Chains A and B, each alone.
Chain A
Amino acid sequence: DPKIIQKPKYLVAVTGSEKILICEQYLGHNAMYWYRQSAKKPLEFMFSYSYQKLMDNQTASSRFQPQSSKKNHLDLQITALKPDDSATYFCASSQEREGNERLFFGHGTKLSVL
């Protein structure tokens, strides 16, 4: 029973189009994240949100826009898609750090841009 739900699991898009990746967490966490894993590259931090506010942003391109409509939602809008955007995008969540909190990941959305 997954506690972090990502939709869709697979996504195919054409170059130049726009897509939204959905993430909902039911762990009661107050911090949510997006990470990206491209082929043959390490998992890469993109954004972190805490209480629906942007905390850290390591993504240079403004084509990637997180959207948090509710505390337990953090969607990722990607505009003007490029083939280099092809990757698996992982949503994650945690309690904002006070001690031993760990990071929990969703199953990912695999995006292929043609």
Chain B
Amino acid sequence: GQQVQQSPASLVLQEGENAELQCNFSTSLNSMQWFYQRPGGSLVSLFYNPSGTKQSGRLTSTTVIKERRSSLHISSSQTTDSGTYLCAMDLASSGSWQLIFGSGTQLTVMP
């Protein structure tokens, strides 16, 4: 089975609503990252979050490594937030990144 499970698979919001995206990992991990994939395909790093809570503008990531889960909260969503949100776990503790990605949550924010 998949090592990284993301939910929901898709989500439709009205502009201004909040969103909570979940990521669960089937194995122990050292750290994880959240990415945003634009409709055109390019990926943007949102958070490197091995544990705890991190915030950047309207985005908040919370990771509980012992429980093998992470969440991404988007507040006051905007149409420009539409795209795919990917979480990825890393099994290594040093050296280069070898990320295992989830299938993503496809977010659509309606005006």
Contacts and interface: CB of A to CB of B under 8 A. Distances in A.
A48 B98 contact: yes
Given A100-B48, A101-B48, A107-B42, A42 B101 contact: yes
Dominant secondary structure of chain A at its interface with chain B: strand
B102 A42 contact: yes
B33 A103 contact: yes
Given A104-B45, A105-B43, A107-B41, A45 B99 contact: yes
A28 B95 CA distance: 16
Contacts of A92: 97
Contacts of A42: 2, 4, 86, 100-104
Contacts of B2: 42
Interface in A39-94: 41-45, 48-50, 55-56, 58, 88, 90, 92, 94
Interface in B21-76: 33, 35, 40-45, 48
Interface string B76-111: 000000000010100010111111111110000000
Contacts of B92: 97
B99 A103 contact: yes
Contacts of B96: 31, 33, 48-50, 55-56, 94, 96-97
Nearest to B48: A102
Size class of the contact patch on chain A: 20 to 34
A95 B88 CA distance: 18
Nearest to A44: B101
B95 A55 contact: yes
A96 B97 CA distance: 8
A88 B41 contact: yes
Nearest to A31: B96
B43 A90 contact: yes
Contacts of A37: 41
A96 B92 CA distance: 12
B95 A103 contact: no
A23 B42 CA distance: 14
Interface of A: 31, 33, 35, 37, 41-45, 48-50, 55-56, 58, 88, 90, 92, 94, 96-97, 100-108, 110
